[in-house]
Structure 1
Amino acid sequence: MYHAIVRRNLRNSFADVNRGNYAAIVRQFTPDAEHWFSGAHALSGGRDTAEQIQRWYDRLAEVMPDLRFELKKVVAKGWPWDTVAFAEWVDHLTDREGNRYSNQGVHVVRIKWGKITELHIYCDTELLESVLDKLGEQGVGEAVATPVGSPGPFREARVGR
């Protein structure tokens, strides 16, 4: 029963993202949560404060205002004090010129007593980087900005690009 609740909550969280309700997402994190996105781009790197996590979601909303997720699988394992959940997804978005893009990936979520302590996001980062570069060319400055929080381990390769 507990794992069904976790899976439902994750589905509801993705529905909140699809509605642009990022405030509901940010409230789910513990104050010392780790929020990490793979790659070397404006959304990559790690955040470990509530303020940084809020800024990251503000950036996401600005860069990809029509971002929508389609969940493929949601799996949860563990006890209420140490749960790991995986959400496999396909996303869809449109750039400022009307070009459509889609990516696929997975969220790995660690939960303790109903609050997110870790979120790691993995996707096709080469594709995402190309979309962000295109958005930057279209005048979306946040799409090519320095990551919020600590840069990912490969950020140095793209600085000044």
Structure 2
Amino acid sequence: MIVWLNGTHGAGKTTTAALVQQLIPDSRIFDAESVGETLMGVHPGLPETDNFQNWPPWRQLVVETARRILQYTGGTLIMPMTVLVEAYWREISEGIAAHNIRLHHFVLHADQDTLRRRIMADEVMEPSNFRLNHLAMYDEASNAWLHNAAEVIDTTQLTPSQVASLVAKSVERS
């Protein structure tokens, strides 16, 4: 099974993933960003882009890597990764389904002011214009398709532990 934690920067995906891992037995975290980092290291480089998700191999390799990890380890993969382009999400989710892997898709949501505040106060990743610039894209995706494609958890007034508990309970019920 895959538990995909979607949402924009500052929503709490990374923090929640670590806490969910403690609540779901035999689970592990796979950050699909590592696939993008691998592709960025290809020399000579792949076509110029401002987002590695635009490279078709990223989407294909995320599906294949997740499948292979699960095939090797079993259990549950927790994947904290923002995907805001509907066609990309469709490609990934259909790829996962083609391998008969159960997928639980969550969107961790917070209002724009809370997201900005969290990004600016982030001591690990530090404030980032890249992260701030994606807030509008997240808002657009949320209204167009994203919130209809997942279970939405509003993290604005919740602690990370409360969010993780809601995710784990939802997975347990299904």
Higher helix share: 2
Q: TM-score, normalised by structure 1?
A: 0.31
Tell which has more relative contact order, 1 or 2 (C-alpha 8 A, sep 6+).
2
